[in-house]
Structures are given as C-alpha cells and as structure tokens.
Amino acid sequence: MLEAPPLPGQDIHAGVMPEIVWGHGDDLCDCTFQQVGDWTNPYIGRTLRVRLCCIWARLFSEYPQFVQEIPAYYDQNTDRWETDPMDWNVEDSDMPVHIWHRQIAVLTGLSLPEVRKHFEGEQPPKAVADGTGVRLISDG
Ligand SMILES: [Zn+2]
C-alpha cells in the first residue's frame, strides 16, 4: 500500500508546535466530510488532534461491504432524498470555502484539487438577505 504524502501540520515531533493547527473546515484533505478529533487538557499540557476522516477513509477501503456512500441528501422535513445540492440560503454567514468547493465538485464531477485550482481566488456565495433564508446562529 502506498503511503499518503504528509499533510501540512502532520510532521510534528514531541515538543514541537505544528506550523498549521488542523481544524474542521481547514480543507487540508479531500475527504467529503472533514472531521478532526480534538482533545486538549491544560493540566497535562497536551493536545491530540486526529484527522478522523482520513483514518476512516482508510478503514472504509478495508471494509467496503459496511459502507454506504449515497449520492443524495436525506431531507428530514420532507422525508425525501434530494440528489441536487441545495443553493446557499444562510442569512448570518457566507458559505464556507471548503463546503463551496465540495459542492462544485459534486455539481461538476471535478476533483477537489481541480476545483481548488480552477476557483482559486474566487469567493463563495455570500449570506442571503435577512428574512430570505435560514439562520445558523440563534439570536438568543
Ligand atoms: Zn480527511
């Protein structure tokens, strides 16, 4: 099995702070659903961050019979599968770049590296006007 090249921030050693601290939405891997586990404790002065999404991808490739990758989104409000990605409709936030890139990849069939290159420097959809969309952050 070929080893994947190290990700930025991966080449850390004990006592050395990483140049890049991994976080959700950092777009440093091509996983569809980025998940970074994060455990930190002030009393032992240590933090553990794990790219669970990348580890899961390796695990999934070993056990494909236990994985469903569904090319649709399940809308619990309508009890239906929706195959077309929804337009950004959030009032209190612009679309995060990592989500925008993945949406473009789904819509065009391009790979994430191709999308990143082609759309470099372009801005994702902006927040929609108040009263025309949904809010992610409650006012209360
Ligand atoms: Zn990943």
- What mean pLDDT do residues 9-33 have? 82
Kindly give the distance from the C-alpha atom of residue 10 to the centroid of ligand 1, in angstroms, as a whole number.
12
The predicted-structure confidence for 85-128, as pLDDT tens digits, reads as follows 999 999 999 999 999 999 999 999 999 999 999 999 999 999 99
Residues 6+ apart with CB under 8 A from 37: 48, 49, 50, 52
Residues in the chain: 140
CA of 31 to the centre of ligand 1 (A): 4
Measured in Å, residue 140 CA sits from the centre of ligand 1 at: 34
At 68-80, the pLDDT tens digits run 999 999 999 999 9
pLDDT tops 80 at residue 11 = no
Taking the model in full, what pTM does it have? 0.80
Higher pLDDT, 10 or 89: 89
SS3 at position 138? coil
